[in-house]
Structure 1
């Protein structure tokens, strides 16, 4: 399904596929094994073959996320997350971060995600790696692999410090109810 958006620069396609395509060849540039969990129907076998041809391992997202328990297990057995975003996330420069990324961080899994704008607290290279280019993505993946235990600890610390529901809720209530 194609989604179109418009902003001051005009009309653009705003779907996950268009955000991902510039990084299609990523597995060819790194020794880190990469896997995609995506929905591919019976008519999408050409897409599966194309992805596998570039070195991606492909999992059916309907299987790995069929239940909350299966989804949690998948994240916890993963080494970490690599993810691209919809073009609007980059255009808006709002430091958007996904709930899936938070699940990885909370599980002590380092993440390598597309940079979505400046942030007062999101790091660019400490448990959470934010990239702009293919070269930055490759360097980030290799940095995580070279010091996995440290990056895992940093990922968990980031989740505890900035995304713990008790801390976030308390801060919101403090501001809302002076």
Structure 2
């Protein structure tokens, strides 16, 4: 699909039409794309109302924040200015966060450089800690809060306020 540039508008239009046709069946549709700038990401930005950018605390991901916002073809600011005026950036959400000195330093640097892009929560910013409960829940085909393990309950206690904050920003409490 990526090499068929003539088909890109059709792809985005088809996605928009499909979502519009089934919109009475959901309150929120989450489209999870890969972080690389391609037609899937572009189409999602064209049809979406909100963008949430999960970010691992490695240098490559942090360096990509500029492109997320300002890429010449598919940066959020470009899409909002030219194609999708309603598109809103909820924020950047550090995820799979580990309590290592390297990750703490990257989180500190991210907070200093991009505080306005992070999601305020409590006295700091929203983040999702690394936990085995999430992949275990995925493998079981369950939401983490239904996994029935203490690690899942702890993970959900940490994740729930983040999701609540995101829902509030989207107006879907």
Q: Normalising TM by the smaller chain, what interval?
A: under 0.3
Q: TM-score, normalised by structure 1?
A: 0.27
RCO greater where, 1 or 2, for CA within 8 Å and sep 6 or more?
Answer: 1
Q: Compare the two structures and name the one with the higher helix fraction.
A: 2
Q: Compare the two structures and name the one with the higher strand fraction.
A: 1
